[in-house]
Structure 1
Amino acid sequence: MYVLHALFTDAGCWELWAEDSGRPLEAPARRRGGPGTAQRHPFAAEPAVLARLLCAAGEEVAATVEFADPRGSVPLALPSHRNGPRPSTSFTRFVLGGAAGDGSGDGATTRPELRAWIVPTLVLDPRDGAALLALLDGETLATYDVDGAEADIPLSDTVRYATAVAKFAEVLVRRGEILPDLDADEDSGEYHAVWRPAYALDSAAHRKALIDAMPPVFRAQLLDTELTGRPAADVLDGAVNALIDAYVIGALTGPHGLHGESLVPPRLLDGPRVKTPIEELWLDALTSASGNLLDPDRLDPTTAQGFMTALDEWRTTHRATASPVRTCFRLLAPEDGERPHDGSGDAAAQWTVELLLQSTEDPSLLATAQEVWTRSGAARLLRAAGADPRRDLLAGLGRAARSFPALGYALREASPTRVRLDAEGAYDFLVRAAPALIGNGFGVLLPSWWSAGRAELGFTLAATPAAEQPGRAARRSGFALDDLIDYEWRVSLGGQTLTDAEFQALAEAKSGLVQFRGRWVEVDRERLAAGLKALGSRRGGAIRAGEFLRTAVVGLDDEALPLEAVEADGWLGDLLSGVAEQRCAAVAAPPGLHATLRPYQERGVGWLAFMDGVGLGAVLADSMGLGKTIQVLTLLELERESGRAEGRPTLLICPMSLVANWQREAARFTPGLEVHVHHGAERLSGEQFRAAVTDTHLVITTYGLALRDRAQLAGVPWHRVVIDEAQAIKNAATKQARAVRSLAAPHRVALTGTPVENRLADLWSILEFANPGLLGSAESFKQRFARPIERDGDERAAERLRRATGAFVLRREKTDPAIISDLPEKVEMKVVCNLTKEQASLYQATVDEMLREVAEAQGVGRRGLVLALLTRLKQICNHPAHFLKDGSRLAGRSGKLARVEELCEEVLAAGEKALLFTQYAEFGAMLREYLAGRFGREVAFLHGGVPKRGRDAMVLRFEEPDGPPLFVLSLKAGGVGLNLTAANHVIHVDRWWNPAVENQATDRAFRIGQRRNVQVRKLMCAGTLEERIDRVIEEKQDLAERIVGTGEGWLTELSVAELRDVIRLSADAVAE
């Protein structure tokens, strides 16, 4: 396995390197020289191999690395032990399977030190690097290894940090917080036209936060023999500069690019005069896709220096200055009495831009220009805060006139207080002047209706299935995608349907700012004209239901106006509104089903049958534990009893770990189904396979075999293909995903509890399996939905996606009102334990010793020390023997173990069963041995080293009435994929500090099949880091999910004082 890293080096390039698990983790014996003498990193991947891996990740990624140089190398200062560099946190997590910061062998017990290591790199120019970062999202990159097998490359902290920097730079460009400049290279004498950031106040704060959050490895490049790395601010500024240059040049020269002169200083280029040669050269270089170097043969150095001075003066006027006030502008709409009633839809009445002075400390404190000139009102308060209101207002107005030309007329007055505008001028202020003013640090107050967003103009597509009534989905027969339906196109503005007269009046308006039914709205006049033309050829008629659905989901090809809404009656309306599941007749359990369905499961089976009936694939996305398996089995049993699928089996594809589970569940709940498992070395092939599956109802196989036996599976006329854990095909370009999608069947069902894990592209891949072609191509999906939603937070695009997918995805949560009454209760409790005196002594000694080391450490080494400290303290909280690893006795030495004993005693006395989760396999082994001896009962123990066959046997044994009453599980091995409803007690012995992981482990017991209340107890030691971090998770749940939920890494960024406050030992830690 490989772990990908990213660097932005002092050469101005993006350089990629990777840790390779196939190489030895230790270096050869060090040659002469100290820590600053660099050796080759022993387990860094060869750049050529890395290039092949990236090229195999898809065409878009391949295009960014096509011309990368595989001959780069960078010396880095990395935390090391005596035998080599320590594996990164990401390598430890993904490859070694340890908690963040865990080491092994010598590296786990000795203090890390910084040493110099040379890593071979793949060098990308800034533009290719920017393009690649835009494609790296989530935790892994799907690709194929050198043998052609599927592989996921984990993305390290440095890659995820680089993508955050890239998004920041992109936001700066989109907000206009950029300025052009000219750089001189002192060594070569060359001049380069460049784009640089012009940070507004909030962006400057964001920059500071990124500097503070920089992973130490990202700035670990060595420029000399000192093991200090580069200053974080220098690294970030260099990366942001390069990214902004790449994004702007891409925007200016791309197929939808801007005109270069729209971004350059108007003061230098305005007027009818002919541009000077250097201005022409500079403009050409600023907007050139081939490079930013000014042609030296046409450049006079003296003129260039003068031009640079003029540019610097201009840039100075755009930099935010430290002041207690700033000039502010407030747009006021005409009063009601001023509004015309000429039927034109726009306004000849006067709009007003009010001139103000605003406190930067308290933005709600505003002084009008009138108050400034008369030294009254709020102006007095601003003066008391240290401002000179008159001077500051005049200076600000002078600077603002460059962004708001209409202000020039007001400045002819001695004491200007406002600017009068007509509707066209007001619209120009809203769309041009206001963003420019904001970007240059001025305050701008706009009407609430503008801030709420544009009232979008679009089409509404309305249809009624012939001879249908709403709710027809409940009857299920007599309709299909080939049915003809009546439809018509309508035009809407802000969700309100326009009459023909209103539409015509808007099209004839003189401004983009018009009145519509008593309110001001913005309209795009070009789109209005295009919509008027398109409506003439798009009135209505008859269309097949399948074509209507595709148009409703994907939208229009010509995009004259966007498709904003879809209205339909009958079964189409039920489907598109997402209520088909509620309208479908609940399916009664067939006689052959040996189970009682819950009401929502009956509706789910009815919905699956409804989707089958209309010829649509279904995505059943119920959350984990709600019984997706039994709903599918019930559907198959219904078909078996009715004979509808005679001779045409259903193919089920699932992860290997779930094959036995599906086989057991089918035998338990639907024993009438003939089931064939296509797996293992003894699996059938050729005619034997075809003959065997023809007489079965359900064939179970794995994703791996779906690829390997693709041709054989494709030769069977399947009635249906079902994929379980459908996120396995989330990467649409992989061979596995393509193989699964290629299997032909008239019916398809995808089962997943997480339809979107990291990116919206995951959802497209799953829906492309269920309904091929219905969402359009992957590229059109990215353009219409993924990029606007993920990059821009576009709520309209998100709503269109909900509309598009709601018809085919049934998602129900345990917390839904219609579901919660159907499940037993889950009761969660925090159990606080006290330390013994021995534990407290070890805890305090460890804190004192390691905090001194942390205070002296720097950079990457400090991060490793903090993670080691956290691990040791958690081990001490569990038990002294866990920390000391000396095999000493367990009884009577740990407050937490004593509480575990008490809880287990209560469970056993009630004749019930419990799951005990720990993140440490070694402590799990200690618990199993101790509890078995303490209670004289069998205790099961599942950890990562148990093979699949032993795991399956262990689960079966625990579920039996006479099976072991206690089941100890390591969190990683037992946290997913198991059905352990025999237990109704869950004990988290130690904490993972990731709510999602803990909840997933809890759901091994709290799931369908559980008939009793489930009691969940989370243990923590009072007065220690366990109690304080739990408090952070409880008080800041959103933060916990976004930051704390990623593990312990966030704690490594705390100062020594902050860290001491988290880990300190309180007086209440030890009970008297």
Structure 2
Amino acid sequence: MQPLRLLALHLLARGAVVPQILALKGQEVGLRWLPATLDPAVRALLQRVQAALPPGRVTVREGRRTLPLSAEAQATVLCSLFLDHFIHEWSTADGDKAAGDKTLALFFLGGRALYDGPGEGSVAAGIHAWLARFHLARREHAPVLCLDDGAAQEDEHGERDERAGHNDDPFELTLAAESGAALQPPVALATVLADPAWAQSRFGILQTVSLLAEFYPPLNAYVSAGARTPLRIAADALPAFLFDTLPVVRLLGIRALLPKALERLLRPRLSLQVKGQAADGGGFLNADDVFGFDWRVAVGDRLLTQEAFEELVRDATGVIRFKGGYVYLDPAEIERLRAQLARPPALSNSELLRAALAGEYGGAAIGLDDAAQRLLQQLREAGDVELPGAIEATLRPYQQRGYAWLYRNACLGFGSVIADDMGLGKTLQVIATLQKLRDDGALDDGKALVIVPTSLLTNWQKEIARFAPTLSVAVFHGTRRELATHAGEQRPDVLLTTYGIARSEAAALKALAWRVLVIDEAQNIKNPATAQTRAVKAIPASSFIAMSGTPVENRLSEYWSIMDFANRGYLGRLPQFVREYAVPIQTHRDQQAVERFRRVTAPFLLRRLKSDRTIIDDLPDKIEQDQYCSLSAAQSALYESVVQEGLRVIAGESDTFRRQGLVLQMILALKQICNHPAQYLKQGQADAALSGKAERFLELIDEIHASHGKVLVFTQFREMGELLAGWLRQRYAREPLFLHGGLARGRRDALVERFQNDRTEQVFLLSLKAGGTGLNLTTASSVIHYDLWWNPAVEAQATDRAYRIGQQQNVQVHRLITRATFEERINDMIRAKRELAELTVGSGEQWIGHLGRDELAALFTLH
């Protein structure tokens, strides 16, 4: 029944419902709401739902017999019940006023209406007549409109003359009737009126036609003349019929038969013709000055110069014939086209490239000449690039393709966003690209700058030393950092630094020449307004590489910020990007916008997933399991108290910003209570038995410990990590490893090294932000998320510390969730909101602050 309930809500949201009056006894009538199946889209939805319904859900009584309804009738009846319920429940009609207004109550409050008072005898019939037009297509015989262009003359070559539309040849309109019960062709109305065989059906058909004539009055004269002479519609009057009358008729479910050329009525539109310019020396194209352009007018697949367009529209209005088809000339559109041709917009190289890839620009069609098509093909296909001999690694096929793609973009002067899934070897692909640039002499003048989180400095040093030992590397970090800035000073091929240093030393870094600027964990610049993002984007370079397993965690604007780093200005300014892509995709789920987004970003974004076995088939399986835990009595009492007090305070707050802050504050408190009461009460070490989650955690650790496995344990809170460490210390008489943000870089590196190489170290506690990115911890075969961030992208990043290349075992992921609390309900919501997974859009927690009072109560209250 849930699909029918959702369908009813969807139809109400769209207004795709119609009322139907039901005759009862005497002057008593009832009313029900039905899906507006005169709309083909609604019909299709109802058919999909009815196909999923088991037979026999709805039956009718006929005397002593109980008969099942047909599948279609069953779906309609059940959907109607839901529609009636929602309309009656949510109606804003005033109950007192409705009590004195039978018709208002009949439509919106349910029940029946007895029209037996003075002057009410014709009310029910009037309502019936008024509603009849919404059910024309349900009648035994439905009218059919037939429009013919038989007067159109073809020239001697079989094509209509380009100027033929300037005469007064009219179109001819006739009416026919068809029966939905039989596969018979429509019968001309003239036959219905003259043939005695139609005598019994004639009155009902005429009654239907009279209703149709309300929307097109000339039909009255046509019927009065016995429908023997077709209605003639002049070319300049045809637009009113096509655009005003026809949509209403079709909305009522009435068929209209038109010539194919009229069904595909053409309109002149602006077209951008993109011309390719030859690359210097016949080699790679360059990001600058690769395209030229010209504006034309497109009519169907024909392109007209401005002069030819003016000749076509001279002295013409309405619908004209053109090259075997029909063109609608709207005076307002013609003037708009003339104005655009008189003052065509100037386009930058980025806008031209984006338009060429998208296939349209501001609604204007795009045409590409042969040279432009070859240039785009070169951009889409990386080709084979030989791996440098100095690289001491064998690249997998997908890594070889990624390396070739990075190198090609760098040579072309374009930036790249490599967004491969965690553990697929992004770092190796980038290192191979840097080595290739060095071998080509591209690093002789400008060098490579690599900006990473502090926790990854050591990892990058080791990876370069391992895979590209001939690359010279320096680290610009720490209190004794030095930068070679003077002429004649030897600069390393690669300079490693951190986001914090890039921000504080922005002026010094900007003063140097950089051939390529690489940023790892690029989500660190996802917020375009931060000082860190501005500092990184201010460093000039010839080409840019952004690395991220999650280029979008919450909003597409984060992707804009990263792509704007890689290719400055390519996606336009942020407000333009939000208008063209973010709002249509995230708010309206606009599939066309999604496809356009993919087309314009595809040459500069590379994303491969570990779940795709065509990419990599030698990774073991990852098995995720939600572990549901119960609250202890102490947790329940504390949880309930915080919820009641929190909802009371929130209900009294009218300021939206402060209200959202209060909601997030309550979420933080409830997370801590679900973890352990001691965390919320700041009591230090406490008995694990006071938390159902802590007890389940220790049970899992016992199982992993007994099987001699290794486990990563993630928590958002350092204080929770301290509690976990205390219980593990007490249970196993051993100090567990604990990596958190308060540790110096050297200490972090030592902990990672110890866990990876010491078999006796079985448990590694990590705070989510300090240990959730960049680390290789493939000796672990289990991952426990003690508390959840409610952001699938962040959670997956943490899990992928273990589930990555080099992992030889299946990885078991345990997600601890407290049953019957907000944790379980938010988890259900997040799992249901992954429609943009392919765009790597996750879910944060800010949206919870915008929920209404009742929604918040339903979310947080214990169940």
**Structure 1 and Structure 2 fold alike (TM over 0.5):** yes
1:341 to 152, 158, 163: 152
Partner of 1:929: 726
1:720 to 516, 519, 522: 516
1:459 to 271, 274, 291: 271
Instruction: Return the letter of the residue paired with 1:592.
Output: A
State the distance in 2 between where 1:338 and 1:860 align. Answer: 68
State the distance in 2 between where 1:979 and 1:571 align. Answer: 44
2:797 to 1000, 1007, 1029: 1000
Q: Does 1:1054 align with 2:854?
A: yes
SS in 1 for 2:171: coil
User: Which runs of 5 or more residues in structure 1 are unaligned?
Assistant: 1-170, 173-200, 202-319, 355-373, 381-389, 398-403, 469-474, 539-545, 1065-1072
Q: 1:350 to 1:915 in 2, by over 3 A?
A: farther
Q: Deviations over 1:372-414 (max 9, x none)?
A: xx9979x99xxxxxxxxx9xx99x98xxxxxx9x879989999
Partner of 1:830: 626
On the 8 A contact 2:714/2:785 being kept in 1, the answer is yes
> 1:932-947 counterparts in 2 under 5 A?
932-946=729-743
Deviation at 1:703, TM superposition (A): 4.2
State the distance in 2 between where 1:602 and 1:916 align. Answer: 34
SS in 1 for 2:514: coil
1:809 to 593, 605, 608: 605
Q: Deviations over 1:424-451 (max 9, x none)?
A: 656457768999x99xxx9877999999
Deviation at 1:1055, TM superposition (A): 6.3
Deviation at 1:988, TM superposition (A): 2.0
Q: 1:905 to 1:760 in 2, by over 3 A?
A: closer
Deviation at 1:1016, TM superposition (A): 0.9
Q: 1:845 to 1:911 in 2, by over 3 A?
A: closer
Q: Deviations over 1:902-961 (max 9, x none)?
A: 432343344432112234443322221212332344412234544555444433433334
Deviation at 1:674, TM superposition (A): 1.0
State the distance in 2 between where 1:708 and 1:937 align. Answer: 41
1:699 to 492, 495, 510: 495
Q: Does 1:969 align with 2:781?
A: no
Aligned pairs, number: 678
Deviation at 1:676, TM superposition (A): 1.2
On the 8 A contact 1:334/1:349 being kept in 2, the answer is no
SS in 2 for 1:653: strand
User: CA RMSD of the aligned region, Å?
Assistant: 6.1
Q: Deviations over 1:661-710 (max 9, x none)?
A: 4333323332322111223332225656x655x34110123445445544
On the 8 A contact 1:575/1:807 being kept in 2, the answer is no
User: Which runs of 5 or more residues in structure 2 are unaligned?
Assistant: 1-12, 15-35, 37-103, 109-126, 138-142, 154-159, 177-201, 654-658
Instruction: Return the letter of the residue paired with 1:908.
Output: H
1:664 to 462, 474, 489: 462
Q: Does 1:683 align with 2:481?
A: yes
Deviation at 1:566, TM superposition (A): 5.2
Q: 1:772 to 1:804 in 2, by over 3 A?
A: same
State the distance in 2 between where 1:1038 and 1:1026 align. Answer: 21
Q: 1:457 to 1:639 in 2, by over 3 A?
A: same
State the distance in 2 between where 1:846 and 1:669 align. Answer: 54
Q: 1:725 to 1:431 in 2, by over 3 A?
A: farther
1:615 to 390, 413, 416: 413
Q: Does 1:597 align with 2:414?
A: no
Q: Deviations over 1:729-784 (max 9, x none)?
A: 55667766565455444333233445556666655554454445666677877787
Q: Deviations over 1:567-597 (max 9, x none)?
A: 476896474597424xx21654x44334442
Q: Deviations over 1:324-365 (max 9, x none)?
A: 7887789999636456534457994367999xxxxxxxxxxx
State the distance in 1 between where 2:589 and 2:825 align. Answer: 34
State the distance in 2 between where 1:456 and 1:909 align. Answer: 75
On the 8 A contact 1:625/1:1003 being kept in 2, the answer is yes
> 1:951-990 counterparts in 2 under 5 A?
951-962=748-759, 964-990=761-787
Q: 1:725 to 1:808 in 2, by over 3 A?
A: same
Q: 1:567 to 1:973 in 2, by over 3 A?
A: same
Q: 1:479 to 1:1029 in 2, by over 3 A?
A: closer
SS in 1 for 2:798: helix
On the 8 A contact 1:592/1:672 being kept in 2, the answer is yes
Moved more, 697-706 or 949-958: 949-958
TM-score, with structure 1 as normaliser: 0.50
Q: 1:1057 to 1:715 in 2, by over 3 A?
A: closer
Q: 1:611 to 1:889 in 2, by over 3 A?
A: closer
Deviation at 1:980, TM superposition (A): 3.2
Q: 1:930 to 1:711 in 2, by over 3 A?
A: closer
Partner of 2:542: 746
State the distance in 2 between where 1:623 and 1:447 align. Answer: 51
Q: 1:453 to 1:966 in 2, by over 3 A?
A: farther
On the 8 A contact 1:333/1:351 being kept in 2, the answer is no
On the 8 A contact 2:417/2:566 being kept in 1, the answer is yes
Instruction: Return the letter of the residue paired with 1:585.
Output: D
Deviation at 1:986, TM superposition (A): 0.9
Q: Does 1:1063 align with 2:855?
A: no
State the distance in 1 between where 2:665 and 2:573 align. Answer: 48
Q: Does 1:635 align with 2:433?
A: yes
Moved more, 824-833 or 861-870: 861-870
On the 8 A contact 1:480/1:615 being kept in 2, the answer is yes
Q: Does 1:553 align with 2:354?
A: yes
On the 8 A contact 2:417/2:546 being kept in 1, the answer is yes
Q: Does 1:565 align with 2:366?
A: yes
Q: Does 1:908 align with 2:705?
A: yes
TM-score, with structure 2 as normaliser: 0.61
State the distance in 1 between where 2:825 and 2:552 align. Answer: 32
State the distance in 2 between where 1:492 and 1:587 align. Answer: 45
State the distance in 1 between where 2:694 and 2:796 align. Answer: 22
On the 8 A contact 1:481/1:615 being kept in 2, the answer is yes
SS in 2 for 1:1054: helix
Moved more, 918-927 or 421-430: 421-430
On the 8 A contact 2:477/2:501 being kept in 1, the answer is yes
Q: 1:497 to 1:707 in 2, by over 3 A?
A: farther
> 1:175-186 counterparts in 2 under 5 A?
none
Partner of 2:617: 821
Q: Deviations over 1:277-328 (max 9, x none)?
A: xxxxxxxxxxxxxxxxxxxxxxxxxxxxxxxxxxxxxxxxxxx999578877
Q: 1:844 to 1:695 in 2, by over 3 A?
A: closer
Instruction: Return the letter of the residue paired with 1:1063.
Output: L
Q: 1:914 to 1:1043 in 2, by over 3 A?
A: closer
SS in 1 for 2:384: coil
Q: 1:884 to 1:619 in 2, by over 3 A?
A: closer
SS in 1 for 2:420: coil
SS in 1 for 2:687: coil
Deviation at 1:1036, TM superposition (A): 6.1
SS in 2 for 1:335: strand
Instruction: Return the letter of the residue paired with 1:616.
Output: F
Instruction: Return the letter of the residue paired with 2:152.
Output: H
Q: 1:724 to 1:1000 in 2, by over 3 A?
A: closer
On the 8 A contact 1:842/1:876 being kept in 2, the answer is no
Q: Deviations over 1:171-225 (max 9, x none)?
A: 99xxxxxxxxxxxxxxxxxxxxxxxxxxxx9xxxxxxxxxxxxxxxxxxxxxxxx
SS in 2 for 1:819: coil
On the 8 A contact 1:714/1:743 being kept in 2, the answer is yes
> 1:368-387 counterparts in 2 under 5 A?
none
Instruction: Return the letter of the residue paired with 1:650.
Output: A
